[in-house]
């Protein structure tokens, strides 16, 4: 770059907005579009902050789900049972499902 050309300035972006968007699990592409920078620049400049806030958002969601289940929300209990206890709507009995032999 010659001395006649000015250095490219980094665009000022709203860090709080990036953190909020990350916490509700927006993709990097979505965040970049909202704040008006490239996805590459977003990831390079704010990647660690984005991942931290995405993790915080997941923790908040999980905490709310567990609280709803604790408060007696049956649907949430069923959902968490399927996710963490490997429960199913139609449990299999584990036995062979082949038809019994026909005898005369």
Tell me how crowded residue 87 is: count the other CB atoms within 10 A of its CB.
13
Q: Which two tokens stand for residue 67?
A: 């609280």
Confidence band (pLDDT; 50, 70, 90) for 64?
Answer: very high
pTM > 0.85: yes or no: no
Say what the pLDDT of residue 91 is: 65
Q: What is the DSSP letter of 95?
A: S
First-to-final CA distance of the chain: 94
Q: What is the pLDDT, as a whole number, of residue 6?
A: 62
Reduced DSSP (H G I as helix, E B as strand, rest coil) percent helix, strand, coil of the chain, to 5? 60, 0, 40
**Residue 42 CB: number of other CB atoms within 10 A?**
21
């Amino acid at each position: 770059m010659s001395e006649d050309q000015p250095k490219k300035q980094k665009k000022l972006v709203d860090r709080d907005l990036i953190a909020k968007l990350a916490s509700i699990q927006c993709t990097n592409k979505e965040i970049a579009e909202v704040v008006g920078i490239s996805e590459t620049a977003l990831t390079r400049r704010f990647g660690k902050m984005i991942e931290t806030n995405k993790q915080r958002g997941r923790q908040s969601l999980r905490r709310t789900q567990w609280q709803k289940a604790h408060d007696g929300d049956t649907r949430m209990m069923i959902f968490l049972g399927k996710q963490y206890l490997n429960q199913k709507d139609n449990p299999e009995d584990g036995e062979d499902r082949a038809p019994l032999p026909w005898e005369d």
